[in-house]
Structure 1
Amino acid sequence: MKNIVNLLALVILFSSFGIVPKEEKYDLIVYGGTSSGIIAAYAASKGGLKVAILEPGKHIGGLTTSGLGHVDIGNPETVGGYAREFLKRVGSHYGKTKIQVDMESSVAENVFQQMLKETGVDVYYHSRLLSRRGVVRQGNKIQNLILEDGREFSARIYIDATYEGDLMAQSGVSYTVGREAIKKYNESSAGIQPYKLVRKYNDTQLKEVKQLSDAFPLDYVFSDREQVGDADHRVQAYVYRLCITTNKENQVPFTKPGGYDPQRYANVLTRINRLKLLTLDKALTLYKLPNQKFDVNHMDLVNASWKYAEASYEDRNYIESYHKHYQQGLLYFLSNDEKVPEQLRNDTKRYGYAADEFADNDNWPYMLYVREGRRMIGKYVMRQQDAWDNPHKEDAIAIGSYFMDCHTVQRFITPAGEMLEEGEMKHAPFRPYEISYGAIIPKQKECENLFVSVCMSATHTIYGSLRMEPVFMMTGHAAGAASVLAIRDNLAIQQVDIQQLQKELISQGQILHYTPEDEFYIDKETVTGYVMDDADAILTGHWGHSVSAGPFLMYDYRFVNQSATETAVAVFEPDLPGNGIYEIQIMYSPDQNRSKAVRVVIETDDGEKIVFVDMTQQIESPDYWFSLGTYKFSKVGKPKVIISNQGTGGIVVADGIRFIKK
């Protein structure tokens, strides 16, 4: 309401002087001067478009210039295009000929500024959308944007490159916040994760915590367990990525914030004492940057992030200040509280805020690390399976290669005094995977001139991998290049010629396809016989993915522990080319932690056969296949091969199945 009143006041003021706010017109408007927005603008401007960036804050670059100096890149061979150009320019600043992924925020911002200057992109700072009424639509198109100060901007195409997805949300595009249930997309890591016990409070401690929660309401949640695998509204913890230094000549000391209470850090102290953490780089995570600086991670404030994405601007300011107060207090606590081991206190005092970073913001980063905000439900929804079973896309625009990384989502205290936490997914390696063009565009009936390059169409699980700055730069690059084609051919963005877009992206250095060189990787197209991968199986139970031991067929293999109580089953139902006698072979990666008696059921024309396989044994066959014997099959008999985890004593692998006609 306050914003509307201010806008009306401006309109009245302008009218009294006979002034009407000018509408600025562009080919493309990028809302959000994040790394993704900058690369999008750079690509579009190089393609000949008149481009503007509307940045709500006072600096460009997003998190790359706001403390996240250690860039999580995944496999560097998958990062191409203008994202790679940016990283190479940063490398050049430091006297290197290759890409640089550890950088000072001030250096990153200077490089971004230079790229925009070279291409003539207009940047408007302090340009925030009017809350709730900032987007004017006509039909399924955005006509223009209205800012808080009354200015208006129009373009043929728009890109939402913000971490929150504010433009997307006001544009009437479908989106979600939080975690999907397992059953929504059949993702094994979806929804609420298994709980971990952090500590147990006695009655006196529980009473003290409840009193403390009055002063710090977002720190402490009192609840009970919910069902593992269910959907919820929560997102992973946020943090400010701080820049600190050991250089005394470039140091600002850690100071005590107002309202500081050392009891707020009791759980931190418990962890320090339990794990005997005696240096700051053990208590927190410090990534080394050039010039004696460090990017600080894992100062997460669990629970405080849940309402941020959908919050008003005023409420977001409160949440940001809340995080800042917590982190300032934590550094002061570690360097001054007498309960902290003296060795850790003394080590922490060696550090201070870097005086030459964020100098116009009291040496504090400009942006809170919004690890996950809104997520569009677009033309194609990226999901967990895209990182494992479906890595290739006909409309590929970039490559993702980081593991599915989710920080703690919730920490709460039960009525019984148990502090529980959950949210982290298993950190499993996987093959690089292709990102669909459909993931950065809405359904055409919802909006035909809006790209969403950060809050893209993805589930919570896969977004844990997608949410990395180089990926955002590459999806921004694709959005910028596609804007050029859409405007040139006067098309809705959903109608852009994908092959032409891919040709343009490749010419600009973008990497769309990647096949790893791995001695253990076997492409099923090179194997004779009728071959099925684990991705072709019908799976029940909780199978994990891995590439930790070879050989394996295609991108990975599935594994599960044997269990006498919980059954996980992989069912292979081949569509054999004809009736006859077939030898069945399986592929598995042998290891000493495997089961020596994996139960394999084969349903043949002659009935059910059971074979037990010792997966600790090396396969003698020169091509990695283990024979289960020869069996009679007919197409009407609907043959099956079933691998289960029934039993005890090790890990069961489900990977490749081969049928060779005799």
Structure 2
Amino acid sequence: MRNRLNMNIAKSVFLIIFTGIIFWGCQQVNKAGNENTADVIIYGGTSAAVTAAVEVVHSGKSVIVVSPDIHLGGLSAGGLGFTDTGNKSTIGGLSREFYHRVWKHYNDSAAWIWEKHSEYGNKGQGTVAMDGENRTMWIFEPHVAEQVFEDFIVENNIPVDRDEWLDRKNGVQVEGGKITAITTLSGKNYQGKIFIDATYEGDLMAAAGISYHVGRESCSVYNEEWNGVQAGVFHHGHHFKSKIDPYVIPGDPSSGLLPKISAEKPGENCTGDDKVQAYCFRLCMSNHADNRVPFPKPDNYDPKDYELLVRVFEAGWNEWFNKFDMIPNRKTDTNNHGPFSSDNIGMNYDYPEASYERRKEIIKEHEDYQKGLLYFVSNDARVPDEVRTAMQNWGLAADEFTDNGNWPHQLYIREARRMIGEYVTSENDVLGKREVPQPIGMGSYTMDSHNIQRYVTEEGFVQNEGDLGIHPHQPYQISYGSIVPQKEECTNLLVPVAVSSSHIAFGSIRMEPVFMILGQSAAVAASIAIDKEKSVQDVQYDELKEKLISKNQKLSVSQL
């Protein structure tokens, strides 16, 4: 009897081992056959993609990050080191953990290579740079941010397939209202239960047939005041304050317009269009003699492209250095400032829907424009002496983006596609004019839109349009419905970056700390949907809320 029992046990053990071997073998075949399976497939390499992936692991699920980018972190690791925080008390969860790790890095004296910590100061955007009380730091170098993201990946054993580009034409398989698999241009196939689109462009969302919008809605669509065309509205200093002639030969329209000025009229105020706010590279520059590279001269450099800037200087404008925001080690996060600056206004309208090849052309055009601008201001005799001389003390930071000629890997895609989901966040939510259902995170930054058009006024002068900044009265909530598609379109996709919002509301949501918050919240929702075998739209909010709070996500003013 005992021998028979032992034989049965031996058979059972053998079957378990044999089954395990077969399963392991199948997994290897799947990998060899370019097929990959996980509970959650995340498409994108942004900061939101990383926090979402970390949270999937923390929630006990498997994940694969399919990243078109080689370098992770998007803008957070791509030059935007002078963080747009707004009210930093709204930033919780893994997003705050990111800024805590940055703080830990700069508490080590070894981090201060090109200047002493004591020499840096403590200035941030609306907050201190280094917050000792809350153990967070909001200002940082690009390579430091990228290392934090890479540490997240390594510590959580997250598989990341880099330089993998979604086949946007034929690479999204949808069956019964669910995405079952995606395929990249290299032929790799990824199967999952839940998919997360964490790209700035919303490429997976669009390829899956989800409704979305590009450009500005008219004010009437969501009963807003600040959407659509806003000609003559100047909330910042990024407009022409003097009467600047737009023509090649001043006063002669027949001579044609100077470069970077559109002949198109801006449209009636509050009307919608298909235009998006300007893009630029957030440059990391250095004024340390041992850590700067001279600004390169593009092969297609033409000083005529910057004639408009000469006229701005001649009119007495003297704000060229106003957005050379200092980050540690005598470097900058250099942003657009003024009427003619690093924002390449009007040169990106087709980017959101463009092919990969066309996007590369747009990115290259932006790079050439911005490199040419820096070279021009550093070398052209028509630039005021004090500006040109000072610029010669600056260059690209030699120890940043070392595999890309010290140039950022990521263009600042301030806005592209925006999903039209279960709930559309509008300025009415941001300004506290209505109650937000099912909040999964908070925002607080100004509804900030960069310029969208540069045109000729009725009086015959050049002017910019679209630059807005409307401050929320207090931090506001972001609805779960803004990261999920309409149920009839797809039931297993979450979109934490190209979120469902109006143009002007997205101007506040589009901050990197918020993207990280929404990435984590999307992952928590994905885990619940998998456990309960429900669509993402049918996740019970009470359960989601409880889990988010347990992970230190901030969902209401009462938590701050």
Counterpart amino acid of 1:389? G
Deviation at 1:204, TM superposition (A): 2.8
Q: Residue in 2 aligned with 1:272?
A: 313
Q: Residue in 1 aligned with 2:249?
A: 204
Q: Residue in 2 aligned with 1:21?
A: 33
Q: Residue in 1 aligned with 2:202?
A: 165
Deviation at 1:425, TM superposition (A): 2.2
Q: Residue in 1 aligned with 2:164?
A: 127
Within-5 A mapping of 1:100-249: 100-195=137-232, 198=240, 199-201=244-246, 204-205=249-250, 210=256, 213=259, 219-249=260-290
The answer (yes or no) to whether the contact 2:217–2:227 under 8 Å persists in 1 is yes
Which of 58, 66, 70 is 2:82 aligned to? Answer: 70
Deviation at 1:65, TM superposition (A): 0.6
Find the aligned partners of 1:375 and 1:202 in 2 and give their Cα distance.
Answer: 36
Q: Residue in 1 aligned with 2:26?
A: none
**Per-residue displacement from partner, 1:274-325 (whole Å, max 9, x unpaired)?**
34427x523xx11110111101100101001211000111110111011001
Q: Residue in 1 aligned with 2:64?
A: 52
Find the aligned partners of 1:296 and 1:175 in 2 and give their Cα distance.
Answer: 32
Counterpart amino acid of 1:82? L
Find the aligned partners of 1:470 and 1:277 in 2 and give their Cα distance.
Answer: 32
Which structure would you say has the larger Rg?
A: 1
Assess, with a 3 A threshold, how the Cα gap between structure 1 residues 443 and 411 changes in structure 2: closer, same or farther. same
Q: Residue in 2 aligned with 1:494?
A: 537
Q: Residue in 1 aligned with 2:333?
A: 295
> Per the alignment, in what secondary structure is the counterpart of residue 321 of structure 2?
helix
Find the aligned partners of 1:209 and 1:104 in 2 and give their Cα distance.
Answer: 45
> Per the alignment, in what secondary structure is the counterpart of residue 41 of structure 2?
strand
Q: Residue in 1 aligned with 2:94?
A: 82
**Per-residue displacement from partner, 1:463-520 (whole Å, max 9, x unpaired)?**
0100000010000010011111111111111111111111111111111111499xxx
Find the aligned partners of 1:515 and 1:208 in 2 and give their Cα distance.
Answer: 62
> Per the alignment, in what secondary structure is the counterpart of residue 530 of structure 2?
helix
Deviation at 1:177, TM superposition (A): 0.2
Q: Residue in 2 aligned with 1:480?
A: 523
Find the aligned partners of 1:271 and 1:474 in 2 and give their Cα distance.
Answer: 40
Assess, with a 3 A threshold, how the Cα gap between structure 1 residues 334 and 137 changes in structure 2: closer, same or farther. same
Q: Residue in 1 aligned with 2:42?
A: 30
Find the aligned partners of 1:22 and 1:259 in 2 and give their Cα distance.
Answer: 41
Assess, with a 3 A threshold, how the Cα gap between structure 1 residues 379 and 22 changes in structure 2: closer, same or farther. same
Deviation at 1:200, TM superposition (A): 3.3
Stretch deviating more after TM superposition (95-104 or 451-460):
95-104
Q: Residue in 1 aligned with 2:442?
A: 399
**Per-residue displacement from partner, 1:71-114 (whole Å, max 9, x unpaired)?**
10110011111100111011100117511111111001111111
Assess, with a 3 A threshold, how the Cα gap between structure 1 residues 27 and 239 changes in structure 2: closer, same or farther. same
Counterpart amino acid of 1:364? W
> Per the alignment, in what secondary structure is the counterpart of residue 349 of structure 2?
coil
Deviation at 1:259, TM superposition (A): 1.7
Q: Residue in 2 aligned with 1:315?
A: 358
Q: TM-score, normalised by structure 1?
A: 0.72
**Per-residue displacement from partner, 1:16-51 (whole Å, max 9, x unpaired)?**
xxx983310010011001001110111111111111
Find the aligned partners of 2:254 and 2:345 in 1 and give their Cα distance.
Answer: 19
The answer (yes or no) to whether the contact 1:21–1:150 under 8 Å persists in 2 is no
Deviation at 1:390, TM superposition (A): 3.8
Find the aligned partners of 2:153 and 2:519 in 1 and give their Cα distance.
Answer: 14
Which of 470, 495, 501 is 1:458 aligned to? Answer: 501
Q: Residue in 2 aligned with 1:443?
A: 486
Within-5 A mapping of 1:85-100: 85-95=97-107, 97=132, 98-100=135-137
Deviation at 1:170, TM superposition (A): 0.3
Deviation at 1:202, TM superposition (A): 5.6
The answer (yes or no) to whether the contact 1:392–1:433 under 8 Å persists in 2 is no
Q: Residue in 1 aligned with 2:7?
A: none
> Per the alignment, in what secondary structure is the counterpart of residue 184 of structure 1?
coil
Find the aligned partners of 1:225 and 1:451 in 2 and give their Cα distance.
Answer: 35
Higher strand share: 1
Check if 1:354 corresponds to 2:382.
no
- Number of equivalences: 491
Deviation at 1:265, TM superposition (A): 1.1
> Per the alignment, in what secondary structure is the counterpart of residue 216 of structure 2?
coil
Deviation at 1:120, TM superposition (A): 1.5
Deviation at 1:247, TM superposition (A): 1.1
The answer (yes or no) to whether the contact 1:395–1:436 under 8 Å persists in 2 is yes
Q: Highest relative contact order (Cα 8 Å, sep 6+), 1 or 2?
A: 2
Find the aligned partners of 1:340 and 1:92 in 2 and give their Cα distance.
Answer: 42
Find the aligned partners of 1:480 and 1:512 in 2 and give their Cα distance.
Answer: 16
Coordinate RMSD, CA, aligned: 2.0
Find the aligned partners of 1:484 and 1:225 in 2 and give their Cα distance.
Answer: 46
Within-5 A mapping of 1:516-595: none
Counterpart amino acid of 2:439? A
The answer (yes or no) to whether the contact 2:447–2:508 under 8 Å persists in 1 is yes
The answer (yes or no) to whether the contact 1:245–1:352 under 8 Å persists in 2 is yes
The answer (yes or no) to whether the contact 1:403–1:430 under 8 Å persists in 2 is no
Find the aligned partners of 1:420 and 1:515 in 2 and give their Cα distance.
Answer: 43
Unmatched 5+ residue regions in structure 2? 1-30, 108-129, 234-238, 337-341
Counterpart amino acid of 1:339? R
Assess, with a 3 A threshold, how the Cα gap between structure 1 residues 223 and 105 changes in structure 2: closer, same or farther. same
> Per the alignment, in what secondary structure is the counterpart of residue 519 of structure 2?
helix
Check if 1:418 corresponds to 2:461.
yes
Assess, with a 3 A threshold, how the Cα gap between structure 1 residues 475 and 315 changes in structure 2: closer, same or farther. same
Q: Residue in 2 aligned with 1:306?
A: 349
The sequence identity of aligned pairs, in percent, is 40
Q: Residue in 2 aligned with 1:256?
A: 297
Unmatched 5+ residue regions in structure 1? 1-18, 214-218, 518-662
Stretch deviating more after TM superposition (389-398 or 113-122):
389-398
The answer (yes or no) to whether the contact 1:23–1:153 under 8 Å persists in 2 is yes
**Per-residue displacement from partner, 1:221-261 (whole Å, max 9, x unpaired)?**
21224111101000100000110001111111112111211
